[in-house]
Structure 1
Amino acid sequence: MFIVSVCSLKGGVGKTSVTLGLASAALHQGVNTLVIDLDPQGDTTLGLLGETATGPDVAEVLTSPRTETVDRAIRPTPWSKEESSHLDVIPGSARSSMMDSPAPSPRELRRLRDALDKRTHQYDLVLIDCPPSLNGLTQTALAASDRSLVVAEPGFFAVTAADRALKLSAEMREEGLAPRLIPLGLVVNRYRPRSVEHQYRLAELRDLFGDIVLEPVIEERVGLQQAQGGAVPLHRYEGASGKRLTEDFDALLRTVLDSRQLS
C-alpha cells in the first residue's frame, strides 16, 4: 500500500481537484485506491459520493484508530461501479477540525498511520486530501505517508507557500515523525497559458525549485469543474477539454507511482 498526501498551505489552489483527478486516473488504470478526506470541508467526499456522508467518518477513525472503526468508515464510491478495480473513500467530517491543532503531539500524529495499518481492506494506493493548512491534520497525513505532493497555483504567494510546505515534509522526516516520507514535488494547478503573469510565476517556480516542479502543469479547464459538479470521474467526462485533462492526470499518476522506487 502506497500512501500519498496531497497538501497545500492555502485554500483555493485546487488541491481537491488534483486529488479527484488522480483518483479518476487510478480507477481508469486499474489501481485499487482509497481516498481519505481529511479536509473538514468535505469537498472530496461530495465529489466522490455525490452527497455528504452519514455514519462513521475520518473523525471517528482518528478518535479510535482500531480495525473495526476504520473498516466501518470505508465507503465504496459510485465511481467504481462496473469497474474492474475499486475506489473507496473514508469521508470527511467537520468534526475533524477539532483535531487540527497547530502543535499536535507525536501520539496524535501516529493515529492515522495506526488506523491504516489495522485495516482489513487491501489497496494499491491511498490518496489523502489534506486541509489547506500545515496544522495537525496535514501533519498527521504526512506522518502516515510515503510521498507528499504540494499543490500551488502560479500566483504571487506561490513561492513562499510551496517552500514552507516542502520544508515541512523534509523536517518531519528528519525528526523521525514521518519516517517513510519523501517530498515528491510541486504540482502547478490552474495554469492559464495565455496569462503573462502565470507564465512569469511558472518560470519563477521552475527557477527556484527545478525538477521539484512536476510535469505536466495542470491547465485551468472548465471540464475539471464540470466533472466534479456532476460527481463523475474525469475519465468519463465527455466535454471538449476532457481528453487533455485525462492525459495530464494519467501522466501525473504515473509519476506518483513510479516514485515508489525512491528511497
Structure 2
Amino acid sequence: MYQLVKIWTVANQKGGVGKTTTTVSLGGILALQGKRVLLIDTDPHASLTYYFGIDSEELEVSVYDIFARGNAMQSEEILQALCPSTIDNLDILPATMAIATLDRSMGNRAGMGLVLKKALEKISEHYDYAILDCPPVLGVLMVNALAASERILIPVQTEFLALKGLDRMMRTMELMQSSQSKKYQYTIVPTMYDKRTKASLEAYKNLLSNYKEYVWPGVIPVDTKFRDASLAQKVPIEYCPKSRGVFAYRALLDYLLQVN
C-alpha cells in the first residue's frame, strides 16, 4: 500500500506555545511548493479548524466520526469529511467539541490508539504530507497522533514555564516509546523568541543545555504578522510571505526535509 511520504505531529503538553501556528505555517509552505497537504485537527478547542473559518458546530462529519466509527469508515467517507482551504493542495480534517468526550466514552476500547493511523492509511494515496495539530493533554487523541507520526515537532515558547511543559512532554514520549516499542524522531522548535528579553535568552540557553541534540538550531521569532494572518484566516505564507516569521518557518522546513 502507498504510504504517506511524511506524517508529522505537532505536540506539547502546554497550550499557547505555537502548535497551530507551526501546523498552518509548515502546511502552507508545503502546499505552495506543490505538495498535497492534509492538516488534521485533534484538539477539542478546534483552533486549527476555526483558523480556516470552518465553524465546527455546523459540521456534519469531522475527525470525531473517524474515532466513533473506526474501521467501518471507508476512504470515500473520510475524504468527504475534509474541508478545502483557500489555497490549492491544502485540506483540513476539522475537529468538533465532541472529541472531548472520547477518553470517557471510548478510551478503553481495544485498538483505540491506532484509529487515526489506520484512517490515514486509507487515504494515503491522496496526500504527500499530513500534519497533525495536537491537544495539550495526554489522552486518546494525543496517543493517536503520536502513534501515527514519523516525526514529532515540539514547539516550545522560550520562557521558563514552557520549559516545564517540555519536561512533561519528554516523559510522555519516553512512556509512549516503551509501550509501543517505537522510537520517535522528534525536533524541539523554539518559538516566540525575543532576543531583546532576558527571559527568551535564558530559556533558549536552557533548551540547548538540556536537549541540544533535539533542538532545531534556529528560532521562530515573535511576529505580530502571525496574529494578523490568523485574523484574515490565511496561512502566513499567503498573507505575509516576506515576514521574518515565515522566513523562519521556511528554514525550519528545509531542516526537517534534510533530517527526514
TM-score, length basis structure 2: 0.88
Residue 218 of structure 1 aligns to a residue whose secondary structure is coil
2:112 paired residue among 101, 108, 113:
108
2:247 corresponds to which residue?
247
Q: Of 123, 129, 136, which residue of structure 1 is paired with 2:127?
A: 123
Counterpart for residue 83 of structure 1: none
Aligned-partner residue type, residue 79 of structure 1 = I
- Structure 2: segments with no counterpart, 5+ residues: none
Provide the C-alpha distance between the structure 2 equivalents of 1:129 and 1:238, rounded to a whole number of angstroms: 22
Q: Which amino acid aligns with 2:215?
A: V
Shift of 1:44: 0.6
One-letter code aligned to 1:198: S
Q: Secondary structure at the match of 1:157?
A: helix
CA RMSD of aligned residues (A): 2.1
Residues 156 and 105 of structure 1: is their aligned pair in 2 closer, same or farther, counting only changes over 3 Å? farther
Residue 151 of structure 1 aligns to a residue in which SS?
Answer: strand
Separation of aligned partners in 1, 2:169 and 2:107? 16
Are residue 61 (structure 1) and residue 66 (structure 2) matched?
A: yes
Instruction: State the match for 1:95 in structure 2.
Output: 98
Contact 1:35 1:89 survives alignment (8 Å): yes
1:256 maps to which residue? 256
1:72 is aligned with what amino acid? Q
The structure 2 residue matched to 1:223, chosen from 216, 222, 225, is 225
8 Å CA contact retained: 1:62, 1:115 = no
The change in CA–CA distance for 1:77 and 1:219 in structure 2 (over 3 A counts) is same
* Separation in structure 1 between the aligned mates of residue 214 and residue 39 of structure 2, nearest angstrom: 24
* C-alpha contact (below 8 Å) 2:240/2:246 kept by paired residues: no
Q: How far apart are the structure 1 equivalents of 2:68 and 2:87? A: 28
**Matched residue count:** 250
Q: Which has the higher helix share?
A: 2
Whole-Å separation in 2 of the counterparts to 1:92 and 1:43 = 9
Runs ≥4 in structure 1, deviation > 6 angstroms?
none
Alignment of 1:11-26 (within 5 A): 11-26=15-30
User: What does 1:102-181 correspond to in 2, within 5 Å?
Assistant: 107-119=111-123, 122-176=126-180, 179=182
Q: Compute the displacement of 1:183 (Å).
A: 3.0
8 Å contact from structure 1 (residues 227, 234) kept in 2? yes
- Write the distance in 2 (CA, Å) between the matches of 1:150 and 1:120: 24
Could you tell me whether the CA contact under 8 Å between 1:36 and 1:90 is conserved in 2?
Answer: yes
* Correspondence for 1:185: 187
1:59–1:96 CA contact under 8 A, matched in 2: yes
